[in-house]
Structure 1
């Protein structure tokens, strides 16, 4: 294959992969993932044909870097517009972040080449390799699983029917399998090999989609018992969010939205992540206002704010927290975010890197946020005296399926997701993040009420379908009667058993490695 032709295949992969996730263009959201994602791995595999493992790793690394640097364009907005870093730093940040997934693409390129050389590169083996490496991205070095292939199928409710069984990994494996089969069929035109395995893979994907559609058709009626939940979108710009001059205006805005929600009969009113510029833990005036507001609206408040705890020697520890205020004005509980954003909420190896980060990003925090203990469900008091068991994942935590499942494993009936996406501006990130939140609903078979400071706020059903949503950068609220579906003990199968499918893929790949070694030994 000529260099130009190989480059065309790889460039096609980068473009199609980028288009597999939603992006706002011309006032509308372009979302082609339902179709484009089936082509992405195929284009990459066709671009790697004939390469030995080392050059295949290099080619896949370059393609993965280009695709993800484009996908992570929102990092520029976060670092330059709001982090006040110089423009070159913003460009470099997007490229630097893309190096992380690109490394796993390099491993995929090398692995795919090695499998092809042993003639074990069936579509099933390649899909297992793709999924295993995607899973590694969620755990290695704290993980960053933005842009997993399964998210591109968020509108494919038939494939999402498998999410309660195996999480986002189920649609991801199906797409990787179908795409690898397309690549195999293309190669079979000239080689004459692999067509049978490719057709078997396509038949398997079709069967999975058909079974998912049947499961949707059998979906029973929603339970009669509901809880009325409101999510608030204060639309506070990131540049003024922590400004003392805006503190009163911000709080008054959320109080007004809460009163509207109370008038609509909401039993639970959810504020976004760090909605108020302060902490009820050490600001008695703020705590009193929140308590009075809960009593006035006769609703439980779930408020994103800074948690503060004293430590020895007169210091304090800060948390990204969600406070629960009961309808009678009592602070009932507090959940602290457990999975923090590197370089956003804390600086790894701060003693070594802290000065460097502060020098290039003037808006960087000088104090690290502390992580909470474990994801856990909260008992939220309701006006009728009962309690709603809910998980409150905070922003970055929503990227991690294994973390969010622990809320429902702990008994959560629904998720109250809170986030601040103002950092992303009018990029594709708020819409891509919404898709990830919807996948968490599908995986755990629970509804999610999502409160985002500047949007997109949403109500998402237990199949991962967005039923209501706001526009970006408007002040708004949503109110919905959410079914109280008591989850099975410990939640869905995925909530109880976690990432078993990627684990099975790793085991299968280990078996293939043993088989390849045995073949070489037999030939010798």
Structure 2
């Protein structure tokens, strides 16, 4: 009997598919590519909806890993793909060192790969499938927590941050920070794997999806939100790209020129970007005088950022990046020195060992120094115009990625959060948009408006709920834009209770470990088997038949 052509084609395709799935080389390449897919959910592509299904290919691959070791390898390779894709714009600066960093940080996902195979492999029971919707997101969150350490690059590319423009997600962030949003996105992906690959587990998968939807709805309805309490007019000055040997001086001149353009706009505060002043104002009194005159001309204080050698608030002498508030009478005395520095960009960790990185990329030739403590600045009440007593919470560049820093400033009384940044080295990449989007999460978490001011774009302003105020100032713009920013009173649950989703995720993993240990103890042990007894033989030498 001849086999129909269609059936032969399907059999051949199935055979090839099975051989591919058994090929370690193919699986390794697929893991790297699948791990890189979630990067598309972040700016600049900003396919926020894709985050809810982006992990499916990776998880579907890992759940079919033939061994635990293979699952760990595919977790590592996928993690490496994700880290390199999220930070690919660093390649011109770090060169091959980016691949080394990606490979090292990718190891954080090796245990997660084992966890995915353990919870989703084979045909999981209803109980195991239901547990997976909580366990797998919890494992991912532990990875995000560990890599959020400053020395490992900080919390750039947390999966929840991809939802920065989704209003329900911002409301969820006000309850549990970006961590809670990450948990939700992972839970939806896990439920998706169960729906696609495990028909028997579709009921718990659908139940998990419903629970996620109810969580978002509940946060939308009852989560307390700060209420509007007045307004403040903020001018953001973005000088744009300035090149040449005298670029520092010309950038100052351009910032000064643009600031004068907002004269008569009734602004309360002017914000310049990171490294907008290239000399210590104490050693260059001429610059301090020009800034004071500028403040008088526009009738508002000017918040600049000094990147220069000076004596910091900690008493050390060296290069600091400092937010400095200047009023009509000169420097007000309020100064904040950047505390969390960019690894390799602003200092080289263990320079005695890793100093060679400066020869293969644009790593810092000299380490910047750290500030001693966060600072809440108070605008003087006797300024020319402006809301006297307004409390500012300054952050510098990289620090806007850390949820705990903006939360601390809010608890210390900051009414307006300000991040001064410079992404000049990464023009034309995804970095400026990714950086500007982080301020939306910080505003939603803290219930305070946030200004993200840069030298070359993207600059942006967000209200207390994380929604954009006015327009972005793109990387192709040199100008000054005035924003009418609503202030807010009250507090969010995240400010009140902090990183509670992280502790909840840790509790889930501890419970999983305890359940596994209990099952091991309850499992009956097999009796030890001694050597086989010789068969009983009859008088004729043949083995005796067993008695039936």
Q: TM-score, normalised by structure 2?
A: 0.83
1:48 pairs, out of 44, 49, 62, with: 62
Instruction: Render the CA deviation track for 1:327-350: whole Å, top value 9, x for unaligned.
Output: 333433111111001111111122
Determine the C-alpha separation between the residues in 2 that align with 1:371 and 1:447.
26
Q: Give the aligned partner of residue 423 of structure 1.
A: 425
Secondary structure at the counterpart of residue 504 of structure 2: helix
Tell me if the contact between 2:36 and 2:84 (Cα under 8 Å) persists in the aligned partners: no
Determine the C-alpha separation between the residues in 2 that align with 1:182 and 1:17.
15
Aligned counterparts, 1:241-252, within 5 A: 243=245, 245-252=246-253
Cα distance, 1:388–1:315 mapped onto 2, change above 3 Å: closer
Determine the C-alpha separation between the residues in 1 that align with 2:143 and 2:333.
41
Secondary structure at the counterpart of residue 288 of structure 2: helix
1:95 pairs, out of 95, 99, 124, with: 99
Determine the C-alpha separation between the residues in 2 that align with 1:107 and 1:304.
42
Secondary structure at the counterpart of residue 450 of structure 1: strand
Tell me if the contact between 2:232 and 2:268 (Cα under 8 Å) persists in the aligned partners: yes
1:480 pairs, out of 470, 483, 501, with: 483
Determine the C-alpha separation between the residues in 1 that align with 2:446 and 2:227.
18
Determine the C-alpha separation between the residues in 1 that align with 2:461 and 2:473.
9
- The answer to whether structure 1 residue 305 and structure 2 residue 315 are counterparts is no
1:208 pairs, out of 195, 215, 223, with: 215
Determine the C-alpha separation between the residues in 1 that align with 2:30 and 2:359.
40
- The answer to whether structure 1 residue 72 and structure 2 residue 87 are counterparts is yes
1:228 pairs, out of 229, 233, 257, with: 233
Aligned counterparts, 1:311-326, within 5 A: 316-326=317-327
Tell me if the contact between 1:161 and 1:215 (Cα under 8 Å) persists in the aligned partners: no
Determine the C-alpha separation between the residues in 2 that align with 1:395 and 1:140.
13
Cα distance, 1:227–1:393 mapped onto 2, change above 3 Å: same
Determine the C-alpha separation between the residues in 2 that align with 1:315 and 1:433.
30
Q: Give the aligned partner of residue 257 of structure 1.
A: 258
Cα distance, 1:315–1:375 mapped onto 2, change above 3 Å: closer
Aligned counterparts, 1:52-451, within 5 A: 52-77=67-92, 79=93, 90=95, 92-116=96-120, 120=128, 121-139=131-149, 141-189=151-199, 192=200, 194-214=201-221, 222-223=228-229, 225-237=230-242, 240=244, 243=245, 245-306=246-307, 308-310=309-311, 316-354=317-355, 356-361=356-361, 364-381=363-380, 382-384=383-385, 386-451=388-453
CA-CA distance at 1:126 after TM superposition: 1.1
Determine the C-alpha separation between the residues in 1 that align with 2:39 and 2:97.
18
RMSD, aligned CA: 2.5
Determine the C-alpha separation between the residues in 2 that align with 1:411 and 1:315.
27
CA-CA distance at 1:319 after TM superposition: 0.9
Instruction: Render the CA deviation track for 1:116-168: whole Å, top value 9, x for unaligned.
Output: 57964521111111122212211274542221110121222112101112100
Higher Rg of the two aligned structures = 2
CA-CA distance at 1:307 after TM superposition: 5.2
Q: Give the aligned partner of residue 512 of structure 2.
A: 512
Cα distance, 1:140–1:74 mapped onto 2, change above 3 Å: closer
Q: Give the aligned partner of residue 21 of structure 1.
A: 42
Secondary structure at the counterpart of residue 426 of structure 1: coil
Tell me if the contact between 1:159 and 1:208 (Cα under 8 Å) persists in the aligned partners: no
Tell me if the contact between 2:293 and 2:328 (Cα under 8 Å) persists in the aligned partners: no
Determine the C-alpha separation between the residues in 2 that align with 1:413 and 1:221.
12
Instruction: Render the CA deviation track for 1:284-331: whole Å, top value 9, x for unaligned.
Output: 2212211221122221110011254449xx993221111011233343
Secondary structure at the counterpart of residue 4 of structure 1: helix
Cα distance, 1:486–1:210 mapped onto 2, change above 3 Å: closer
Instruction: Render the CA deviation track for 1:372-405: whole Å, top value 9, x for unaligned.
Output: 1122321122534722111111101011112221
Determine the C-alpha separation between the residues in 1 that align with 2:190 and 2:306.
46
Tell me if the contact between 2:279 and 2:309 (Cα under 8 Å) persists in the aligned partners: no
Tell me if the contact between 2:34 and 2:58 (Cα under 8 Å) persists in the aligned partners: yes
CA-CA distance at 1:415 after TM superposition: 0.8
Determine the C-alpha separation between the residues in 1 that align with 2:416 and 2:316.
36
Cα distance, 1:349–1:463 mapped onto 2, change above 3 Å: same
Equivalenced residues, count: 490
Instruction: Render the CA deviation track for 1:205-252: whole Å, top value 9, x for unaligned.
Output: 111233344469x978733x2111111101134x54xx3x23432222
Secondary structure at the counterpart of residue 282 of structure 2: coil
CA-CA distance at 1:426 after TM superposition: 0.6
Tell me if the contact between 1:391 and 1:412 (Cα under 8 Å) persists in the aligned partners: yes
**Larger displacement relative to structure 2 (449-458 or 132-141):** 132-141
Q: TM-score, normalised by structure 1?
A: 0.87
**Larger displacement relative to structure 2 (226-235 or 342-351):** 342-351
Instruction: Render the CA deviation track for 1:444-473: whole Å, top value 9, x for unaligned.
Output: 111111111110111111221222211113
Secondary structure at the counterpart of residue 338 of structure 1: coil
Aligned counterparts, 1:466-477, within 5 A: 466-467=468-469, 468-477=471-480
CA-CA distance at 1:15 after TM superposition: 4.9
The runs of 5 or more residues in structure 1 that have no matched partner are: 24-29, 80-88
